[in-house]
Homo-oligomer: A and B are copies of this chain.
């Protein structure tokens, strides 16, 4: 079989397996996930042995220490993967949920019921734990999963998949329910993106290059996020201590993640008081400030910000700062430079809080809370399969529900649209 025929054939089997997974009871799915968790731990040695091959290849290929660190699997990390599966088992099953019911004048009772999407395509880069995390989330929501992991984690991903397959077999579920593409060529990505009859949605997780490639080549809907240029706006009557706390939490607690702050907007009337305190807190923590001319009036150790700085997702201890004339100026700045990810207002003003949350249509809008709460777990979705900054189907942090859709169920007693014909 040529490679191309093989990939299509795998996708067809995955689709067929999705029909089986869709009909599993919550109890069966939970038992499956718990057994997978146990077997990952029992068989950890087989994973670690294969992982060493990936790590050695990475060293040979001169990957950075940070990249290699993402790749490494040891006992504690495998225990963490197992616990993630146990956490997914503990979540409520979205499938079958009746989300709304209403009655029509003719007596028909209409309801929405959640059903699985079918086959989720996941394209990811170096972290091998995504293999079991994604499989667990997709299965719990009644879907099959078609995984294409990164070449760096090839041996680790397959070791993990082999263990998950053994558990599927013991539950008499087709192993194609968790399909791991057996090649890491980029051409394989382009190919799977054409399988619109078999794969219902594609979720790419990785760098901007990967995500652009997937978006531009896909004939399957893609749920993605490019970047998180998150803003915190400090209103003229903000609580200054609170604004400093939220700024430090948002910028410094983990600068490399997508919900970290990248730009600070400050109302002109509070700038002279707030900015010197902000500068001191930020520079204590090694954060470089790139300010607009208004900012530079109040901040002594700052670079002048360029236009590009306000579009930038630094993912580093760098913060762009702009002084704005009013709430409207802040909202306009976010509309121009933002990435629809996460925005914060710090204010004591009731009307300003309402206006900001009404007019800013980013996926997560917070009042007096840290941008770092823009996360599926923190918002209470239970687990996160990703974050979407595109509006179709899912917007913002995505939990299990975003891996489902809703059908209409209509219960009647013989209703017809036209008069009885008998």
Q: A: which residues have CB within 8 A of B?
A: 19, 22-23, 96, 102, 104, 108, 110, 113, 115-118, 196, 200-201, 215-216, 219, 221, 239, 241-242, 244-246, 248-249, 252-253, 281, 335, 353, 357-359, 361-370, 372-374, 378-380, 390-393, 395-397, 405-418, 420-422
Contacts and interface: CB of A to CB of B under 8 A. Distances in A.
B421 A395 contact: no
A22 B281 CA distance: 38
A219 B117 CA distance: 21
Report which residue of A241, A395, A412 has the largest number of chain B beta carbons within 10 angstroms of its beta carbon.
A412
Secondary structure dominating the interface of A: mixed
The 8 nearest A-B residue pairs measured at CB: A369-B412, A249-B416, A248-B421, A393-B393, A242-B414, A391-B405, A366-B410, A372-B417
A19 B395 contact: no
Given A104-B380, A412-B367, A415-B369, A407 B395 contact: yes
A411 B245 contact: no
Contacts of A408: 363-365, 374, 379, 396-397
A367 B411 CA distance: 5
Contacts of A406: 395
A347 to B, nearest CB: 11
A415 B373 contact: yes
A347 B104 CA distance: 21
Taken together, the copies of this chain in the complex come to 2
Contacts of A248: 416, 421-422
Given A118-B391, A369-B108, A391-B405, A364 B414 contact: no
A363 B110 CA distance: 12
B246 A414 contact: yes
B372 A421 contact: no
Contact of A201 (B115, B392, B411): B392
Given A200-B391, A335-B19, A366-B412, A373 B417 contact: yes
A373 B370 CA distance: 47
A421 B365 contact: no
